Amino acid sequence: GGNLFLLQRSALPSLMPRLEAAYQSRKSPAALARIVGVGTLLRVLLGQLVPWTLPIPYLERQVGRVLGLSVHAVPVHSADIGADVDNLEQYEQALLAASPGDPV
C-alpha cells in the first residue's frame, strides 16, 4: 500500500510529531499498537486475512481519533502508489524502470 496525505498547511506543525512517530513505527506492530491501540492493530492484522472485517470508515475513525481531526480515505486505482523507494538502491532501480519523462 501507499501513504499520501492531503491537509491544510496550518495543521502540519501540530501533526508532525504524530506523523513522524507513525512513520517510524510502520514496520513494528508493537510500536504501532502503542499509537493506534491494540484493538485497532488486531483488526488491521485480521483484515489482512479477512478484508471485510476492516471497513474503511472504521479506519477513518481510528486514525482521526489518534490525530484529533477528521480523516477521509481517498481511493486510488493506480498501482503506482504502492511502489516504495526506501533507499538508494531502490531509487536507482526505479530510475532504470521508469520510462523517459516519468516523474521519479
Averages of pLDDT over each 10 residues, the chain, 104 residues:
74 88 83 84 88 90 87 80 80 82 63
Asked if residue 1 is part of any domain, the answer here is no
- The answer to whether residue 3 sits within a structural domain is no
User: Rounded to whole angstroms, how far apart are CA atoms 99 and 27?
Assistant: 30
Q: What is the pTM of this model?
A: 0.63
Which residue's entry shows cell 490525530?
A: 67
pLDDT at residue 103, as a whole number: 62
Q: What is the pLDDT of residue 49?
A: 92
CB 84 within 8 A of CB 78: no
Structure-block grid coordinates of residue 83: 511502489
Range of the domain at 85: 9-97
Query: What length does the chain have?
Result: 104
Query: Does residue 4 belong to any structural domain of this protein?
Result: no
The answer to whether the beta carbons of residues 7 and 14 sit under 8 Å apart is: no
Q: Please count the structural domains in the chain.
A: 1
- Please give the Cα distance from 21 to 17 (Å, whole number): 6
Could you tell me if residue 2 is inside a domain? no
Res 40: pLDDT: 87
Q: Does the residue 42 lie in any domain? A: yes
